């Protein structure tokens, strides 16, 4: 989401006559779009901004601003800690950045904007598309109402806000007109798009499914992906919509698990149990060929016993996740879980983390090996990062494939590739038709 916000803000500034630079020493304005999900991210940002105090002394006219989650969470506190900082703008005020810059240029006074806004920003829809761009992110909603016990997102991103479906579709159409072939729909909880979350009952409706149906009608878009849905809102209507519009809606689903233990899930305030989670997985597996799943997992959550951990390991293997973002739990100030007793020692966190990472490598190696000898459609994304003489792209189920460069093809084309060999990370193949 931060990457998308940064891109949209940069596009807005370009429209106002600003120029981008990769050289911070040559810049007149330095902007830091920050994340607060993990404390380490904040510490890195504060450390980097602190170093810039020397640059500020050399160039007193330079503007330094902090945007996003850390700005929202710490506000005026950041201005006091980093007196060379000019302004902080929270997550609900980002669209005001161009106007704030103009005010700063005139008045040169520290500004903190962290007021919450109940409406979705209407201007953060522009895109800077890189040369030969194929894929683009689209933010369809912001904020989160789930209040998982370990997560700070609701406190820094605010309450959930969804965009109107026609507005999102219009943005997709504009990207299609610019040659984009694949889109990734973004939100802290995309499966709850357009829903009233004050319900304890799993909804039967799915405005997110309705959005997918509308985007599916745009012929120039060849692939639709999304991240991250919440299992509680992943209902039959959404499942059936994905099945109906496969393969344009890709057969790779990121479905956060967090834990394989019902007891720990309840402590996390996740609203689902493993039976509900596996029901979603099994329905998708039964209806969509070659579907793959990725996930988020928190290892060593407070009170996690050996049985709880083994349940997580079992569920991960039962689902067969091809990718997993495995996080060792660390207390986040301001969240309920940070006050829980029975925190897990660091050594046990490390041990359990390594076990899950080893399992993941073994699974992906086995899954990729099973793809050898078969033919898959690959969306060409560009040259291979390790060999400019090779193309690189992805299968619909999000596997990276490398294959011979063909001068008759271009980025954005979809080709059939025979998979000749594989590693745990990459497929290697040969084009059989174009």
Nearest 5°: the CA angle 329, 332, 337 is 70
Q: Is the pLDDT of residue 157 over 90?
A: no
pLDDT recorded at residue 106: 75
pLDDT (average), residues 264-280: 97
Residue 247, preceding peptide bond in cis (omega within 30° of 0): yes
Q: Is the pLDDT of residue 105 over 80?
A: no
| Angle of the 306-319 helix axis to the 274-287 helix axis, nearest 10 | 10
Q: What is the pLDDT of residues 182-207, one digit of tens each?
A: 999 999 999 999 997 666 678 889 99
What are the angstrom distances between the C-alpha of 62 and each of 30, 34, 81, 178?
Answer: 8, 19, 18, 35
- In which band, very low, low, confident or very high, does the pLDDT at 134 lie, cut at 50, 70 and 90? very high
Q: What is the pLDDT of residues 10-46, one digit of tens each?
A: 889 898 899 999 888 889 999 999 888 778 888 899 9
pLDDT recorded at residue 115: 86
Q: Is the pLDDT of residue 352 over 90?
A: yes
Residue 228, preceding peptide bond in cis (omega within 30° of 0): yes
State both tokens at 95: 């669209």
Q: What is the pLDDT of residues 222-256, one digit of tens each?
A: 999 999 999 999 999 999 999 999 999 999 999 99
- In which band, very low, low, confident or very high, does the pLDDT at 294 lie, cut at 50, 70 and 90? very high
What are the angstrom distances between the C-alpha of 95 and each of 67, 74, 119, 121?
Answer: 11, 19, 12, 7
Instruction: Please give the Cα distance from 268 to 337 (Å, whole number).
Output: 8
Q: Is the pLDDT of residue 434 over 60?
A: no
- In which band, very low, low, confident or very high, does the pLDDT at 407 lie, cut at 50, 70 and 90? confident
pLDDT > 70 in the chain, percent = 97
Phi/psi of residue 117, each to 5°?
-130, 130
pLDDT recorded at residue 197: 63
126 or 308, greater pLDDT: 308
- Which residues contact residue 28 at a Cβ distance below 8 angstroms, ignoring those fewer than 6 apart? 61, 62, 63
Specify the pairing of strand 63-68 against strand 87-89: parallel
Question: What's the chain's average pLDDT?
Answer: 92
pLDDT > 90 in the chain, percent = 69
Q: Is the pLDDT of residue 87 over 80?
A: yes
Instruction: Please give the Cα distance from 47 to 312 (Å, whole number).
Output: 35
What domains are defined for the chain?
2-113 (3.40.50.12160), 135-370 (3.80.30.20), 375-433 (2.40.50.140)
Instruction: Please give the Cα distance from 351 to 19 (Å, whole number).
Output: 48
- In which band, very low, low, confident or very high, does the pLDDT at 124 lie, cut at 50, 70 and 90? confident
Instruction: Please give the Cα distance from 104 to 91 (Å, whole number).
Output: 19
Kindly state the helix (H) or strand (E) to which residue 68 belongs, with its residue range: strand 63-68
pLDDT (average), residues 278-293: 96
pLDDT recorded at residue 198: 62
What are the angstrom distances between the C-alpha of 358 and each of 36, 43, 294, 313, 362?
Answer: 28, 29, 15, 11, 6
By C-alpha distance, which of 141, 91, 151 is closest to 296? 151
SS3 at position 414: strand
Specify the pairing of strand 141-142 against strand 135-139: unpaired
> Do residues 71 and 156 make contact, with C-beta atoms less than 8 angstroms apart?
no
pLDDT (average), residues 380-386: 88
pTM (two decimals): 0.92
């Amino acid at each position: 989401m931060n990457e998308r916000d940064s891109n949209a803000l940069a596009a807005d500034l370009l429209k106002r006559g600003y120029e981008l630079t990769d050289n911070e020493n040559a810049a007149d304005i330095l902007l830091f779009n920050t994340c607060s999900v993990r404390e380490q991210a904040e510490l890195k940002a504060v450390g980097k901004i602190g170093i810039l105090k020397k640059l500020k002394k050399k160039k007193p006219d330079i503007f330094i601003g902090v945007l996003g989650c850390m700005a929202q969470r710490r506000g005026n506190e950041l201005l006091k800690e980093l007196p060379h900082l000019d302004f902080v703008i929270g997550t609900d005020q980002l669209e005001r950045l161009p106007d704030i810059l103009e005010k700063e240029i005139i008045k040169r006074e520290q500004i903190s904007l962290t007021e919450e806004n109940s409406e979705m920003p209407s201007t953060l829809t522009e895109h800077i598309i890189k040369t030969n761009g194929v894929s683009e992110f689209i933010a369809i909603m912001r904020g989160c109402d789930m209040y998982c016990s370990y997560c700070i997102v609701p406190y820094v991103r605010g309450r959930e806000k969804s965009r109107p479906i026609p507005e999102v579709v219009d943005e997709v159409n504009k990207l299609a007109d610019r040659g984009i072939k694949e889109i990734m729909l973004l939100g802290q909880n995309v499966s709850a798009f357009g829903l009233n979350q004050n319900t304890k009952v799993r909804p039967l409706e799915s405005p997110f499914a309705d959005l997918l149906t509308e985007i599916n009608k745009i012929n120039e878009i060849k692939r639709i992906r999304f991240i991250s849905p919440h299992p509680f809102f992943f209902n039959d209507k959404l499942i059936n919509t994905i099945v109906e519009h496969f393969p344009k809606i890709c057969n790779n689903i990121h479905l956060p698990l967090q834990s394989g233990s019902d007891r720990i899930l309840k402590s996390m305030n996740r609203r689902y149990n493993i039976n509900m989670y596996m029901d979603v997985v099994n329905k998708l597996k039964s209806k969509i060929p070659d579907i793959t799943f990725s996930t988020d997992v928190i290892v060593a959550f407070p009170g996690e016993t050996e049985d709880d951990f083994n349940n997580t390991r079992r569920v991960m293997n039962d689902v067969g996740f091809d990718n997993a973002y495995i996080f060792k739990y660390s207390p986040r100030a301001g969240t309920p879980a940070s006050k829980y007793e029975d925190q897990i020692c660091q050594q046990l966190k490390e041990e359990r983390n390594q076990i899950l990472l080893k399992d993941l490598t073994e699974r992906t190696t086995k899954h990729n090996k099973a793809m050898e000898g078969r033919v898959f459609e690959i969306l060409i994304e560009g040259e291979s990062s390790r060999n400019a003489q090779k193309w690189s792209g992805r299968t619909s189920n999000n596997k990276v494939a490398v294959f011979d460069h063909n001068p008759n093809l271009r980025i954005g084309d979809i080709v059939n590739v025979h998979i000749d060999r594989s590693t745990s990370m990459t497929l290697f193949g040969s084009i059989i038709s174009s």
